Chain A
Amino acid sequence: MMPDLGKYVVEVLSAYAVSIVLLLGLVWISVRAARKARETLAAVEARKEKRDG
């Protein structure tokens, strides 16, 4: 299944590994920040509602 990368195996595999890690890291950080922002806003809105009655 794995293609024969010949003498460039390190170059090709490192290019794919680093790129995939960077892309997945960006997605993970973005999703985590989105979840935190939703929770923060919900908490502030709840506090405001409680204060305003």
Chain B
Amino acid sequence: MSIWEYANPKKFIATTTPVLPWVMWAAAVTLVVGLVWGFFFTPDDYRQGSTVKIFYLHVPAAMMAINIWVMMLVTSLIWLIRRHHVSALAAKAAGPIGIVMTLIALFTGAVWGQPIWGTWWVWDPRLTSFLILFLFYLGYMALWTAIEDDDTAADLTSVLCIVGSVFAVLSRYAVNFWNQGLHQGASLSLDAEENVADVFWYPALVCIAGFILLFVALVILRTHTEIRLRRARALETRMRA
């Protein structure tokens, strides 16, 4: 069986519908466990004090903001190359989730930065590229709503997604590229010597898993919505003809 069979809207809905409630519940349970663990049952950091608890929201949200754009890039490329509608609709469905993740990362970063860096915002390479990524998310969603023809909208938003990927990569690696600015390098690393202490690391991993599961659940649900709305529009057009 080929993976491209799932690009058929009916097959996609039939396959993902039974999985969806399980993913939703897994996301809810994992997020609640991770955030409760991080908020109530972890100690303060010796330098950051209780602001370290913001880490359980900021890091997963920032990771998702960047990786959702990468997912949109992959599905946009599939649309441009193979013209599978489900892939274009999945990219569209992921956009608002990415915007929310970017907003959470920007807000939690600002409220953490004020007491620790002494400023809400600084035009540091990572923060600036992240803000531009947020603007790309807004532009991406605006472009989808501005163009009436679905296929043209999918084409143009796919091109925008490819261009915006530069900033998704920059916001992840800006610290390494320029080696300057206030933002530190990766907080979570597989290298045990660079990593945060286990007492912060384990609840952070659970929160990251929760954010990933929430994204999977929402992107499936929202793709179903887009498929159904497009089908309804197509039927309406056919009946009018």
Interface of B is mostly: helix
- Give the bracket for the number of chain A residues in contact with chain B: 20 to 34
A22 x B103 contact (CB < 8 A):
yes
A26 x B53 contact (CB < 8 A):
no
What residue of chain A has the Cβ atom nearest to residue B48's Cβ? A8
Name the distance in Å between A53's Cβ and chain B's nearest Cβ: 13
B218 x A26 contact (CB < 8 A):
yes
Q: How far is the CA of A34 from the CA of B222 in the complex (A)?
A: 7
Q: How far is the CA of A37 from the CA of B227 in the complex (A)?
A: 9
- Give the bracket for the number of chain B residues in contact with chain A: 35 or more
Q: A6-B50, A15-B111, A15-B112 are in contact. Are A33 and B104 (CB under 8 A)?
A: no
What residue of chain A has the Cβ atom nearest to residue B113's Cβ? A11
- Kindly identify, within residues 20 to 44 of chain A, every residue whose CB is under 8 Å from any CB belonging to chain B: 22-23, 25-27, 29-31, 33-34, 37-38, 40-41, 44
User: Which residues of the partner chain B approach A37 to less than 8 Å between Cβ atoms?
Assistant: 224-226, 228-229, 232
Q: A16-B57, A41-B231, A47-B239 are in contact. Are A33 and B222 (CB under 8 A)?
A: yes
Tell me the B residues contacting A by CB distance below 8 Å. Answer: 31, 35, 39-40, 44, 49-51, 53-54, 57-58, 61, 96-97, 100, 103-104, 107-108, 111-112, 114-115, 214, 218, 221-222, 224-226, 228-229, 231-232, 235-236, 238-239
